[in-house]
């Protein structure tokens, strides 16, 4: 017969660490109602769901929590906290759990994309000149082959544009023609926009990696370029 768990012996160190960083996470208010699990796209993957994860944290099952790969299954989409009657912030819990992993043990693919973004300004590692050339080439083809868009303006680093559009970095590399539909919509509505050339990728893998230094660096470089070089009033992130 197994010895029952003595709850008084559980230290709940992970819970205490997260609560210290995120006082408004409200972890102790869980009613175990399962609302978070009902809308979670990662529910039951790896035999885990948000409610199970939270109960493990609250019961002090720190070793089990620290080694579960479900921490990386969660998309941090926030459906759980938006639906939760007690507004328990599970996405922030997950983010802090990821941050507790040694960086070298975090998923290789996400880590590589984060590193590429820091190094090259986008997750695909595309040189800035190649990005600009692709944008200009696709735009020129649209103007030449589709007369209704012969006056369409597509620019990079145009100072004074009202909007800065952040582009998914995969499209210019693998599906450059997929950039066109958004341009056409912006043209039809008369939007005043431009692409920035600094940290121009809309996806930010450093966020998902819980690499706070990398995430901060990317955003600071991006914001500085928008505010000081371009002067755009609005940023639209296509992600």
For 178-219, the pLDDT digits (tens) are 999 999 999 999 999 999 999 999 898 999 999 999 999 999
SS3 8: helix
- Tell me what the mean pLDDT of segment 93-122 comes to: 96
For the chain, what are the domain ranges?
7-101, 108-237
SS3 169: coil
Residue with tokens 């040189």: 127
Phi and psi at residue 165, to the nearest 5°: -100, 125
Q: How far is the C-alpha of 231 from the C-alpha of 84, rounded, in Å?
A: 39
Cα distances from 146 to residues 122, 138, 143, in angstroms, run 30, 12, 6
- For residue 108, is pLDDT > 60? yes
pLDDT band with cut points at 50, 70 and 90 for residue 49:
very high
pLDDT band with cut points at 50, 70 and 90 for residue 12:
confident
pLDDT band with cut points at 50, 70 and 90 for residue 7:
low
Instruction: Give percent of the chain with pLDDT exceeding 70.
Output: 96
Question: For the whole model, what pTM was predicted?
Answer: 0.84
Q: How far is the C-alpha of 174 from the C-alpha of 228, rounded, in Å?
A: 31
pLDDT band with cut points at 50, 70 and 90 for residue 25:
confident
SS3 237: strand
pLDDT band with cut points at 50, 70 and 90 for residue 23:
confident
Confirm if 73 and 46 have CB atoms less than 8 A apart: yes
pLDDT band with cut points at 50, 70 and 90 for residue 2:
low
Q: What is the pLDDT of residue 6?
A: 56
The pLDDT tens digits of the residues spanning 57-87 come to 999 999 999 999 999 999 999 999 999 999 9
């Amino acid at each position: 017969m197994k010895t029952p768990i003595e709850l008084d012996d559980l230290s709940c160190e992970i819970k205490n660490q997260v609560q210290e960083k995120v006082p408004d996470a409200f972890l102790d208010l869980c009613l175990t109602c399962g609302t978070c699990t009902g809308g979670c796209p990662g529910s039951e993957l790896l035999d885990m769901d948000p409610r199970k994860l939270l109960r493990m944290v609250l019961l002090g099952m720190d070793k089990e929590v620290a080694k579960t790969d479900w921490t990386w299954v969660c998309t941090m989409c926030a459906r759980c906290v938006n639906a939760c009657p007690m507004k328990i912030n599970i996405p922030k819990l997950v983010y802090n759990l990821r941050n507790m992993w040694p960086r070298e043990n975090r998923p290789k693919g996400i880590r590589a994309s984060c590193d590429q973004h820091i190094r090259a300004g986008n997750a695909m590692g595309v040189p800035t000149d190649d990005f600009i050339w692709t944008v200009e080439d696709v735009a020129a083809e649209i103007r030449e082959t589709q007369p209704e868009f012969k006056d369409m303006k597509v620019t990079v680093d145009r100072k004074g544009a009202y909007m800065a559009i952040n582009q998914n970095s995969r499209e210019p590399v693998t599906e450059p023609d997929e950039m066109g539909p958004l341009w056409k919509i912006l043209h039809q509505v008369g939007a005043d926009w431009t692409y920035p050339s600094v940290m121009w990728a809309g996806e930010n893998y450093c966020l998902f990696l819980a690499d706070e230094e990398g995430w901060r660096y990317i955003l600071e470089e991006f914001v500085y370029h928008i505010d000081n070089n371009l002067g755009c009033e609005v940023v639209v992130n296509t992600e």
